[in-house]
Structure 1
């Protein structure tokens, strides 16, 4: 039995599948993996959250980088991997998607917003760090276009930042709690496109395996959690998942 046949069998036999996705699924939509050799974080030192809060210069640089990247992000569309996950969700097989990505492509691929657990936040909008009021990126861009004026909250005057989790920023407690509960309740936990080296997020697949879920890892390279998996597939995500749908 091939690996794709094994995965198809696992999916058929499961009632509560949870996907855990990383940068590898979005690179297939043309979004670069910032951590990879030659990626953005190798060329530009990430701005720590404490620096963002303390320094107006750091905030301006963060918004410059955001709007430069926005050209890439705006053109990205869900690929076959996102769409297959969306189809499995619509069929009632997938209960939730836990994602390290900030691009909103799972929602565009057919998964309801409330069932996408974004543990590293979302880069498609901004919000106030004080009162959490949302602000569109277009609104921020209009403000920033005037002499790089920094956006502030219209409601409380607080600092506005993209709704992502930065280096040094605390992980979102509610999203992490939900991700862990979904892992515990899953019977099949599929990692797709994560190197599983970023903690505490990388603990979530371990929690699933420890509570009896079959763990499957689809990633181009080996990961530190491969020994926990019942099946590892070192291949492209879209190719693998589209192969499953043809079984």
Structure 2
């Protein structure tokens, strides 16, 4: 039996599944990583000049323009077969919750900020690094989606009038406590955890799969390149997400 076949059996049998996704799955939809997107005019900026609270305080117009451009890139992209397979996996595990005597669970935690999982149909997910298609008030934390014609300067909060910012985690900021707590609560008891398209070096997200391993669960890594997680994973599939994920769901009843 191949690793893919064995991993498929483990995933199909699991009642508790947790998933972590990183930039690799969205790269297949044509969305560049933060640094890869720094071309042309933006190549002269350091990353922290575009993605830190200090940068936004000094020059909010420049930072907002950078994120407005990235937002347009995201809207032009479409979910790929990897995103769609994860949405299908969630639906199957949710159906199992009503069909089986034992209650199941599913959670997708993503480090991506593009919203492609939601557009693919994923519903049980947490965004560890926020979402660049939303704005958040700096004063009262009200959030609102950005429209197709988002302003070229930072908008003002509809509730309190303060300046809003991109709803993403910047350099020097902590992950949203609730999102991280939800992820930890899902990964620790998971019977199977999928880690997809992430370098497994950015903490604290990189340690979530270790919670599964520490509690005797199975970790399936999907990444064309080896990572620090590779020697620890139960199965490591050196494939793209758009190939591996549909293959893991192939033949399910």
Deviations 1:35-77 (A, max 9, x none): 5xx553993422343313531x2x1111111122233211111
Q: Hey, what's the Cα distance between the residues in 1 that align with 2:139 and 2:57?
A: 15
Deviations 1:159-192 (A, max 9, x none): 3111111111221101011110000121000001
Unpaired stretches in structure 2, ≥5 consecutive residues: 95-104
Q: Hey, what's the Cα distance between the residues in 2 that align with 1:223 and 1:139?
A: 37
Q: How well do the aligned residues superpose, as a CA RMSD in angstroms?
A: 2.0
Deviations 1:221-241 (A, max 9, x none): 111122221111111111111
Deviations 1:111-157 (A, max 9, x none): 21xx2111101111111022111233238833x3xxx4x32223223
Q: Hey, what's the Cα distance between the residues in 1 that align with 2:33 and 2:51?
A: 19
Cross-structure match for 2:118: 107
Whether 2:73 is the aligned partner of 1:72: answer yes
* Contact 2:51–2:63 (Cα < 8 Å) also in 1: no
Secondary structure in structure 2 of the residue aligned to 1:107: helix
Secondary structure in structure 2 of the residue aligned to 1:202: helix
Cross-structure match for 1:21: 21
Aligned residues: 236
Q: Hey, what's the Cα distance between the residues in 2 that align with 1:39 and 1:72?
A: 10
Cross-structure match for 1:171: 175
Unpaired stretches in structure 1, ≥5 consecutive residues: none
Please report the TM-score for the alignment, with normalisation by the length of structure 2: 0.86
Secondary structure in structure 1 of the residue aligned to 2:205: coil
Cross-structure match for 1:200: 204
Question: Structure 1 residues 96-105 or 69-78, which shifts more?
Answer: 69-78
**How has the CA–CA distance of structure 1 residues 39 and 152 changed in structure 2, closer, same or farther, with 3 Å as cutoff?**
closer
Secondary structure in structure 2 of the residue aligned to 1:226: coil
Whether 2:210 is the aligned partner of 1:233: answer no
**How has the CA–CA distance of structure 1 residues 10 and 63 changed in structure 2, closer, same or farther, with 3 Å as cutoff?**
same
* Contact 1:216–1:232 (Cα < 8 Å) also in 2: yes
For 1:123-142, what aligned pairs fall within 5 Å after superposition? 123-138=132-147, 141-142=150-151
Secondary structure in structure 2 of the residue aligned to 1:185: coil
In the TM superposition, residue 16 of structure 1 has moved relative to its aligned partner by 1.1
**How has the CA–CA distance of structure 1 residues 72 and 54 changed in structure 2, closer, same or farther, with 3 Å as cutoff?**
closer
Cross-structure match for 1:246: 250
Cross-structure match for 2:98: none
